[in-house]
């Protein structure tokens, strides 16, 4: 599949995953269940699970489960989660703006997740000739 098509699908799935993330984040904060920092960590995981399934079957069209895939996904998303959480906390501490912290953190982890999923998790090995 062409990179452009994957990128468009990645963005569509990512927007929906971000909406799921934002709804969970907002709910956890406004229901006084978690602090903004902990709410961000939980909401990121919720959005990530949905994104994994959609990216596997829709974005990168991988029908077969490879044994290393869940491990690679976990590594990519763990890195993204750490990047997302750290970015969120730095921006929140610097600005006090929850929405800005959310958007910047999401943008950083989205870039790292696309690269990781495209070239580490769902890459297709070239066929031998």
Kindly give the confidence (pLDDT) of every residue in the chain, 129 residues in length, as a single tens digit, with 9 standing for 90 and above: 688 999 899 999 989 998 999 999 999 999 999 999 899 889 988 998 898 889 999 999 988 888 888 899 889 989 998 999 999 999 999 999 999 999 999 899 989 998 999 999 988 766 655
Place of tokens 């959310």: 102
Domain ranges of the chain: 3-121
């Amino acid at each position: 599949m062409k990179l452009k098509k994957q990128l468009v699908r990645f963005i569509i799935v990512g927007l929906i995953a971000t909406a799921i993330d934002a709804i969970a984040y907002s709910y956890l904060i406004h229901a006084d269940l978690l602090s903004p920092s902990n709410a961000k960590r939980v909401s990121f995981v919720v959005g990530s699970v949905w994104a994994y399934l959609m990216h596997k079957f829709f974005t990168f069209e991988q029908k077969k489960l490879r044994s290393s895939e869940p491990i690679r996904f976990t590594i990519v998303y763990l890195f993204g989660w750490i990047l997302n959480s750290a970015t969120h906390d730095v921006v929140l501490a610097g600005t006090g703006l929850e929405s800005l912290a959310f958007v910047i953190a999401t943008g950083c982890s989205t870039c790292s997740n696309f690269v990781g999923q495209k070239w580490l998790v769902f890459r297709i090995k070239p066929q031998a000739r």
